[in-house]
Structure 1
Amino acid sequence: MNSWLPLVFCFLFGTVVYGQTKPGEFPRIINFDEKGKQLVRFSNLGNALDAHDGEIAWFNGTYYLYGTSYDCGFEWGKKDAPFCGFKCYASNDLVNWVDKGFLFDPNTPVWQKRCNGNTYGCFRPHVVFNKGTGQYVLWINVYDNVSGYRVFTSRNATGPFTEVAEPKLAVNSNMPAGELNNGDHDLFVDDDGKCYLAFTDWRTKGTIVIEQLSDDYLTGTGKYVTNITGGQTEAPGVFKRNGIYYVLYSDPNCGYCSGTGTSYRTAPAPLGPWSAPVKISDNSCGGQPSFVSTFKFPEGEVILYGSDLWNNAAKNEALANFYWTRLSFNADGSIKPLVCSDTYRMPGEAVGGNRKTVACAVSNGVSVSQPITAFLTGTLKHIKVTSFQSGYPDGNLELAVYQADREGNPTGDRLAEATVPVANIGWSPRAISFEVDLRVKKKEQYCVVLRTPGSQGCYGVGYQEEPGGTQIVALEFVYVK
C-alpha cells in the first residue's frame, strides 16, 4: 500500500540554483545554501550540469565547462556499466549554462570498449587552444594504452573533436598497455605559447610529473621533470601568477572521496625546481581538486579553483556537484587557505533566479503528491518533472492526476495517468515530460501523484522552496485552450 510522502519530511540532497544576480551586478558564485547543502547547477534545458572531473576554460570571452558524463549510468568498477562520454556547457557568466552536447560520439563500439566498466574508465577532459595551428586540443585520461591519454583536435571549442595519434611521453613509455601507468592530468599554456602536461604517475604511487609538449600540443618532447611530489597525490592543476608557477593537487589521493586535501608548490619555471608543499585545505571544501583556471579581465586577473563534490564512491556519482571559488593571495604570493563558506562575484553581468532541491523520494510503497490549481480552462497537455534514477529501479515512473480534497490530497478516481520507462530517465537530474491530455477547469483543485510499482531503487524529484519555507514539487505545465 502506497503512503503519501509529506514533502516537508523529504531528505534533501542539494539545492538547485540558476542565477542570483540582478541586472547590472557581477554574477555571484554560490556553492552551498544557508544550511550548508550543496547547490545543483542546471542548464538552459532544465537538466543538471553533468560534467564532472573536468575543468572550466575561457575562450574568446566565453566560459566552457568540460567534464565526464555519468547520466547514462556509468559506475566505476561495475563491469557492465556503459561509458557516457564527455559533455560541454557554455556560459557568459558562470551562472547561466547552455548545453552544447558531447565532445564526440561515445556510443561507438570502439569507445565503449575503451572506456566502459570493463576498464578503469575514461576521465578528465581538458581543452586548450593552439594559436599556431588554430586548433582546440583535447586530452583525456584513458587506461587502454601505454601513455594513459588520447588526444583530439577541433576547429570549435565545443567540438566535434577528432582523435589523432596516441601521444608519446617520456615517463612510463616502456610499461604494458592497459594498466595503471599515468592518471589525472592538466594542460597549461605558458605566455610564450609552449604547452605543458602535468599528470599523475601511478607507477611511483602517485607522484606528479610535468612534460613539455610539442608545438602542436599533440605529444611529448622528452623534456620533463619527475617527483614534483613525494607520492600519494593526484589531480594536478598548473597556473602562473606574477612570474611564479604553481601546481595544486589532491593531497592525499583518493578516488571519488569526499574531502581530500589540497596542497600546492611553486617554481620559477614549469620544469622546476619545485618548492616544498603548502596545504591550503584539509578537505577541498567537501570534494577533490579538479582544476585551476586563469581568466583575465579589465578589472584584473581571476584564478578560479574547482573541486568535485563526490559522494564517497556512491553508485550514482551523477549527483556529484561542484565547488568553485576564486583563489586569494598574500603579498608574498602564497595562496590563502580556502574558506569554504565564501560566496563571491565574478566580472560580468548575469540575470535570472530559480532554486530547487532534489531528493530520491519515490520508491516502493512511497509516493509523492502535489496539489495544483488550474489557472485556465483548457487541456493540460504535459507535466514536466525534474527527476533522476538511482539504485537501479526495476519499475517505471508513473504520474497520475486526481481531484484534490480540501487538504490537497488525492481523492476519487484517477483523471489521467502517464508512464515514463526507467530506460528514459537518466542518473543525473533532468526534465522529464509526462503526456496527460486532461481537460481542466480554471481555479479547480487537482492533485498530481508520482509513484513506481518497482521493488528496488528510487526516483529523485525536484522541489522548489516557497517564501514561507514550505516546499513543493517543482512541476511545469503545458496548457492548450
Structure 2
Amino acid sequence: MRRALHIIIGLAVAACVGLLPAHPAAGEPGAAAPATVTNGVRFTDSAGRVLHGHGGGVIKTGRYYYWFGENPHPNNRFRYISVYRSTDLRTWTFRNHVLTQSSARELRVATLWRPKVVHNARTGQYVLFLRKERKEGDFGQGRVAIATSRTVDGDYTYRRSFRPLGYKSFDMTVFRDDDGRAYLISTTNKQQDLTVFRLTPDYLRVAARVTTLRGVQREAQAVFKRNGVYFLLSSGVTGWQPNQARYSTARSMAGPWSRQADVGDSITYGSQSAFVLPVRGRTTTSYLYMGDRHANAWGGRVKDSEYVWLPLRFPSARTLSMRWHPRVFVDTATGVVRGAGSGHAYEELRARHSGKCLAARWSRADGAGVMQRSCGVAKDQNQHWQVRSLGNGYHRLVVRYSHKCLTVPGSSTADGTRITQRACGTGANQQWRITDLGGGRHRITARHSGRCLDIRHGSTADGARAVQYTCKGSPNQQWWRAGAPY
C-alpha cells in the first residue's frame, strides 16, 4: 500500500522530480550536518541493518543522495537492487528493492552487477543500467540490462537486455553529460578494451560507438567531469583481488584519451572503484572516490563486502591523486570532503627483538595460530594487518588474508595463552591498546587481560608463537609499525 501510494504521488509530480525537496523519512536528518565516514568497514543503514550498496552508483535528486547497490543471494546470484537515501552521505535510510527476481522472467536466473542510474530530463524517466550474466564466473552473455521508473526510488520496470551494437559487454557504467547526452562505457573484446557508446536521446538504446581504448585491460570504470575535463577511472582485471587503479583524461568523450596513469597505491587501498561522486555545495565541489572492498577476496560473499571512500585531489587540471585516510569528513552543505587521519590501509607489525613480522597461518579457519615469520612481499597477505580504531582507545587487528581478528582464545587472562585468529566480534579479547613508546616502538595490550602481545620466550625463529604475557617492556613485546608491501 505504501509503495502504491508512493508511485501515485510520484506520477502526479513527475515534472518536478529533482527540483523540489522531499520530506525526510524517520531516522533521516532534516538538514545535512557535517558527518564522518569510517573506511574499511561494512556500513549500516539508519535501522542498523547492513547496507548493500555493492558495485553501486549515486544520483542526487533534490536535496537527497540515492545510493543503488547489489543485494545478492549468498551464492552471489541476483536477488535485489536496493536503494538508500541520505542528505549527509553518512546516515542512509533504506527506501526500496527497486528491481527483484520477480520483476521479469529473464531475471529469475541471472547475476546483475554495477547498478547505475541516470535521469532523463526529456522523458522524465530514471534509467537503471546493469551488467547482466547468468551466474558468477560465466561470461557467456556479456549483456547490458535496462529498467526504468518515473520516480527515483520507485519500482523499476525491466525493459530488456542487449549487447551494445553487438559487442559483448562486461563491466560497464553510464555517464550523463552537462548537455544531456548520455554514454555507456563498456569493457569489451574479452576484457581487453574499453568502448564508449553514445546512447539515444531516451537513453534506452545505443546510437553509436564513440571511441575505443584498445588493449587497456580495465574494468570497474567510473567517469566524471571536472572543469571541462573528463576523467575515466578504472581497475585492472584481477577478479575479486584489488589492484592498481588508473585513470585517463580527455577534453571530449570521443577523445583522444591520455595514457593511463596510476592513482593511489598498488592495491587501491584494498578496494576496487565503483563510482566517483561530485559533492556540490555552496562553497566548493569535491569529488569522492567510492570503492568496494570485496569480501570474495578473503573467501567471503559479496553481501559481506566493505567500503573505502576517499577524497580525490587534483594537482593540475588533468592530473589526479588519492591518499589513504582511515576516516573521511563530509559536509554536503558546503561541498567540503577531506581526509581525517593518516597511516596505511594495511600494516606490517614487526617484532623489535627479531625484526620478523606478525603472521597468521595460511588458513581462513577460526582458531588458526599466529606467529612470527620473516617479513614477506605483496603476496604475503597473512602478514598484512588492518589496524581498525574503535574510537575508544582500542583497535581491532584484522588480517587481510582471512579477514579475521587477532584474538586471545576464550578470553583467557593466563600468561602464555597462544594468540589465534577468529571471526571478528565485539569481545574485549579482540580489542588491543596500541601505546606509542617513542622511537617507532609500540606496546600492544589486550583489553580484557591487560597483558602484552609477546613472542614466546623471545625466540627469533620463524614460526615462534605469539602469546599474551605480563608486560615487562622486553624487546619481544615491542612492535614496529610499517606500511605493508604491495
The alignment's TM-score, normalised by the length of structure 1, stands at 0.60
Q: Match for residue 343 of structure 1?
A: 328
- Counterparts of 2:65 and 2:432, CA distance in 1: 32
Query: Relative to 1, partners in 2 of residues 1:109 and 1:155: Cα closer, same or farther, differing over 3 Å?
Result: closer
Instruction: Tell me the alpha carbon deviations over residues 190-244 of structure 1, each in whole angstroms, 9 at most, x when there is no partner.
Output: 110000111111x243311111101011110023211x25232111111111111
Percent identity, please. 24
1:221 to 181, 202, 207: 207
Q: Secondary structure in 1 aligned to 2:109? A: helix
Q: CA deviation at 1:67?
A: 0.9
Q: Match for residue 119 of structure 2?
A: 129
Q: Match for residue 266 of structure 1?
A: 249
1:234 paired to 2:219? yes
Query: Relative to 1, partners in 2 of residues 1:470 and 1:48: Cα closer, same or farther, differing over 3 Å?
Result: farther
Q: Secondary structure in 2 aligned to 1:104? A: strand
Query: Relative to 1, partners in 2 of residues 1:223 and 1:74: Cα closer, same or farther, differing over 3 Å?
Result: same
Moved over 4 A (4+): 144-147, 458-471
Structure 2 counterpart of 1:98, which letter? Answer: T
Structure 2 counterpart of 1:198, which letter? Answer: I
1:164 to 153, 159, 167: 159
- Counterparts of 1:297 and 1:305, CA distance in 2: 17
Q: Match for residue 287 of structure 1?
A: 271
Q: Secondary structure in 2 aligned to 1:103? A: strand
- Counterparts of 1:154 and 1:24, CA distance in 2: 27
Query: Relative to 1, partners in 2 of residues 1:239 and 1:92: Cα closer, same or farther, differing over 3 Å?
Result: same
Instruction: Tell me the alpha carbon deviations over residues 69-118 of structure 1, each in whole angstroms, 9 at most, x when there is no partner.
Output: 13x3124xxxxxx5322111111111111011311222468255431xxx
Structure 1 counterpart of 2:178, which letter? Answer: D
Structure 1 counterpart of 2:267, which letter? Answer: N
Is the contact made by 2:366 and 2:423 (CA closer than 8 Å) also made in structure 1? no
1:129-208 alignment, distance < 5 Å: 129-143=119-133, 148-167=143-162, 169-170=164-165, 172=167, 181-201=168-188, 203-208=189-194
1:48 paired to 2:50? yes
Is the contact made by 2:183 and 2:197 (CA closer than 8 Å) also made in structure 1? yes
1:276 to 232, 256, 259: 259
The answer for unaligned runs of 5 or more in structure 2 is 1-26, 135-139, 335-364, 368-421, 434-445, 449-486
Q: CA deviation at 1:315?
A: 3.8
1:385-424 alignment, distance < 5 Å: none
Is the contact made by 1:294 and 1:302 (CA closer than 8 Å) also made in structure 2? yes
Is the contact made by 2:144 and 2:163 (CA closer than 8 Å) also made in structure 1? no
Q: CA deviation at 1:30?
A: 2.5
- Counterparts of 1:463 and 1:157, CA distance in 2: 41
Q: CA deviation at 1:461?
A: 5.5
RMSD in angstroms over aligned alpha carbons?
3.2
Is the contact made by 2:280 and 2:332 (CA closer than 8 Å) also made in structure 1? no
Structure 1 counterpart of 2:153, which letter? Answer: T
Q: Match for residue 424 of structure 1?
A: none
- Counterparts of 2:100 and 2:33, CA distance in 1: 38
Structure 1 counterpart of 2:101, which letter? Answer: P
- Counterparts of 2:105 and 2:131, CA distance in 1: 16
Structure 1 counterpart of 2:169, which letter? Answer: N
- Counterparts of 2:224 and 2:215, CA distance in 1: 20
Q: Match for residue 305 of structure 1?
A: 289
- Counterparts of 2:160 and 2:107, CA distance in 1: 19
Q: CA deviation at 1:60?
A: 1.5
- Counterparts of 1:220 and 1:239, CA distance in 2: 20
Higher helix share: 2
Is the contact made by 1:293 and 1:304 (CA closer than 8 Å) also made in structure 2? yes
Query: Relative to 1, partners in 2 of residues 1:462 and 1:220: Cα closer, same or farther, differing over 3 Å?
Result: farther
Is the contact made by 1:198 and 1:210 (CA closer than 8 Å) also made in structure 2? yes
Aligned residues: 316
- Counterparts of 1:229 and 1:342, CA distance in 2: 36
Is the contact made by 1:152 and 1:161 (CA closer than 8 Å) also made in structure 2? yes
Q: Match for residue 35 of structure 2?
A: 27
Structure 2 counterpart of 1:213, which letter? Answer: L
Q: Match for residue 238 of structure 2?
A: 254
- Counterparts of 1:108 and 1:170, CA distance in 2: 25
Higher strand share: 1
Is the contact made by 1:148 and 1:182 (CA closer than 8 Å) also made in structure 2? yes
